[in-house]
Chains A and B, each alone.
Chain A
Amino acid sequence: MKITKEIVRKTAHLARLEFGSEDEDQIMNDLQKMVDWVDKLSEVDTERVEPLTTMSSEINAFRDDKPKPHLPRKDALKNAPKHNSEYFTVPKVID
């Protein structure tokens, strides 16, 4: 599997990361090494093996439908880098 610049850029966009040109070469290199390394898994015959999707043996761990006290709004907004008295605020989403 060859990691191309295009793959790096697409992946970075999905992860909402950006890399300067030097860093981009570095991460491309790292990803390539990583992928080569994990390609070892292709040696394993897994044809009749189901993917393991859960590690907990618990099942039906439900919650009853009962509301609990909320966080006061000023506390909810307290940690935000930007907010007004009611809302979190972000740069305008243009659609």
Chain B
Amino acid sequence: MKNFQSLSEIRSEIADGKLSVSLLVKHYLKQIEDMNGRLNAFLSVYADEALRQSHSIDRKIKNGTAGKLAGMVVGIKDVFAYKDHRLQCASNILQGFQSQYTATSIQRLINEDAIIIGHQNCDEFAMGSSNENSAFGPAKNPINEEHVPGGSSGGSAVAVASDMCQVSIGSDTGGSVRQPAAFCGTIGLKPTYSRISRHGLAAYASSFDTVGILGKTVEDIALVLEVMSGADEYDSTVSQQPVPRFTEALKNNKYKVAYLSETLEHPSLNYEIKDQLNDVLEDLKSDGHQVAEAHISMLDYLLPTYYVLTAAEASSNLSRYDGVRYGVRNEGGNLESMYKKTRSKNLGVEVKRRIMTGTFVLSASYYDAYYTKAQRVRRMIRDETISILEQYDFIISPTTPTTAFKIGEMKEDPMQMYLEDLYTVQANVTGIPAISIPIGFDNQGLPIGVQLMSKSFNEADLLDISKQIITFKDQKR
């Protein structure tokens, strides 16, 4: 069977009688069977369940009672709670854990007749930029299996890029949806912080974590965003703002787009990415958009701010993994050593590194110098970003400074790995929405992504401009 570009294509084939949801599920299951052994994108596949659901959705389509997402087959990152299914955050410490409730975001997909086909590989507790920090081994980049798919939502990007599902639901704390999307050549959206309920998303850094969407078309992403967004009784931080009809947002408007010269001049930026970004700027101009240079003074402080605050929150969020109520336990004689053995033996190196960093910056003697300092700088970064977005509709930048690197290449130097998030963390530090869209390939054939950021709660325009860039890229091809 051929691969499908979008849900609307799937729905029209179903309407024409050429396709059914059950055939579609079988197709994805076949894809997974063929490729997952190599790519390691899925950690669990819910084949029987998906097939069962597909029959009932086929009936609903016939009866005209199907939901908006009937025909949408979705994979979810291993950080989302889905009742009576595994939830392990790609960590040994949650071995055997079965969730006893379903995340609000996932439940809303199910309510609209999406099918959840499985849980996807990622970096342990979503901490990483390469998917190498998974207790289940790295997912592989489908374009070149020697390369990483990016992270932390690596498996989610791989699954979309290799047609193992139509869309994936990931989480984005510092670029974890956009960076793997860029590395694998898919679209990745990080909505505004608080746009989608976090209830059921295992927390990494609560004031940064955002549910994100990876897909092949802007339309699919708009639809899934529309379904998942909005007020939720369980999450007091989720926005009460009305959710626009994102599917009707693709209006072909003309916009003012800013690029930040400091980001394009950054020494770590790969020249091919820079060239292709410049091409996009030219295309935008010739398409009637305004493109202008703007400046950011806080660029060098983004990553340190991000790492201080996320590590601090992570150190606290991960305290619950203590071997008492769930997960695994390593006995050690007394309570204290049970805690230490359980946590030390079952949490990975990177996770422990961040817990240590976070515990350190929160401890009484260093709190003001690091934690409070970073909170103050965060405000400055946010204010500067907002003021740029008062003059321009979007900030455009590369999604990543490099294309997908080789597995193991950065293992020795975590600080080098952190630089991968240079462009993506700004949206998380400030809470604004951002999207990565594929714009081409480097000389090794590895995908290149471009990132656009907009004002908070303006995903609609972000989707509109993304659609336009993708359209003229397609026309050129």
The interface of chain A, by Cβ under 8 A from chain B, is 1, 7-8, 10-12, 14-19, 27, 30-31, 33-35, 37-44, 46, 49-58, 61-63, 71, 75, 78-82, 88, 90-94
Contact = CB atoms under 8 A, between A and B. Distances in A.
B445 to A, nearest CB: 33
B307 interface: yes
Contacts of B100: 71, 75, 78-79
Contacts of A41: 301, 304-305, 308, 370, 373-374, 377
B355 A55 contact: no
A54 B236 CA distance: 12
A63 B234 CA distance: 9
A14 B361 CA distance: 12
Interface of B: 96-98, 100, 193-194, 207-208, 233, 236-240, 298, 300-301, 303-305, 307-308, 315, 319, 322-329, 331-336, 338-341, 343-344, 347, 352-353, 355-357, 359-361, 363, 366, 369-370, 372-380, 382, 414-415, 431
Contacts of A42: 369, 373
B97 A15 contact: no
25 contacts: A11-B356, A18-B344, A35-B360, A37-B307, A38-B308, A40-B300, A40-B301, A42-B369, A50-B376, A51-B372, A51-B378, A56-B238, A56-B239, A57-B194, A61-B236, A61-B240, A63-B233, A78-B100, A79-B97, A79-B325, A80-B324, A80-B325, A81-B328, A92-B335, A94-B334
A49 B360 CA distance: 23
Given A15-B359, A79-B98, A79-B326, A91 B304 contact: no
B239 A57 contact: yes
B238 A58 contact: yes
A52 to B, nearest CB: 4
Given A18-B340, A18-B341, A38 B379 contact: no
B304 A33 contact: no
Given A40-B300, A91-B334, A93-B335, A58 B194 contact: yes
A63 B199 CA distance: 15
Given A35-B360, A40-B301, A88-B324, A30 B377 contact: no
Contact of B356 (A12, A53, A79): A12
B236 A46 contact: no
Contacts of A81: 323-324, 326-329
A1 to B, nearest CB: 8
Contacts of A54: 207
A41 to B, nearest CB: 5
Contact of B360 (A31, A56, A61, A93): A31
Nearest to B339: A16
Contact of A14 (B96, B236, B325, B363): B363
Contacts of A80: 324-326
Given A41-B308, A61-B236, A82-B329, A91 B338 contact: yes
A90 B324 contact: yes
A61 B301 CA distance: 32
Contacts of A40: 300-301, 304
Contacts of B240: 58, 61
**Nearest 6 interchain pairs by C-beta:** A51-B375, A79-B326, A56-B237, A61-B236, A46-B376, A81-B329
B411 to A, nearest CB: 13
A16 to B, nearest CB: 4
Contact of B304 (A27, A31, A38, A92): A38
Which among A19, A52, A91, A94 has the highest number of chain B CB atoms within 10 Å?
A: A52
A7 B340 contact: no
A56 B308 CA distance: 19
Contacts of A62: 236
Contacts of B341: 18
B355 A44 contact: no
Nearest to A38: B304
A40 B340 CA distance: 32
B359 A14 contact: yes
Contacts of B325: 79-80, 88
